[in-house]
Every structure is written in structure tokens, then in C-alpha cells.
Structure 1
Amino acid sequence: VDDRGMRWFYTGDVGQFHPDGCLEIIDRKKDIVKLQHGEYVSLGK
């Protein structure tokens, strides 16, 4: 539980919240690498 009373689950997934409140799962955290110029790339794609 965070300081605002929100509950979160640590799943190892990376996601993105959309303006309508939906959560999109992008990929597993372990399958994403950061390139030299700062861009993140999924190894699974």
C-alpha cells in the first residue's frame, strides 16, 4: 500500500496507463533493455 492508500502488485511486468484508465501490459521487465541513446526495446518483439 502506497502513501495514497493505493494497493499495487509486483508482477515483473511493465505497463502503461491510458487516459481512459485502462492498463496496457507492455512486456516483462526482464525482457526489456535500454539502448545506448536511451530508448527501451523489448527483446520479445
Structure 2
Amino acid sequence: MGQSTITNNTVGVSFGTGGVVSSFGNNRIIGNATDGSPTSTIAEH
């Protein structure tokens, strides 16, 4: 994900068994009951 804002949810970021959530590191995840986080950060090209 990139340049995303995830706020005011029960769970901000979640993934199932074996799932992957990659981020470009420029996201805002705040104000959720459980914020969660990406599984990896990748460099933008």
C-alpha cells in the first residue's frame, strides 16, 4: 500500500494466515481500536 490513511476502524490493518501486506512506508495508520501494521516495507522506485 502507498500513501494511504487508515483511521477510526475496529482493526486498521489485518491479514490472514500466510498473508502479506507490503507498504512503501508512507502510510498513516492511526486512531483504530487496533492499528495493526504492514508485514514488510519496500523501497519505492
- The TM-score normalised by the length of structure 2 is 0.20
Larger Rg: 1
Structure with the larger helix share: 1
Structure with the larger strand share: 1
Of structures 1 and 2, the one scoring higher in RCO (CA 8 A, sep 6+) is 2
- The TM-score normalised by the length of structure 1 is 0.20
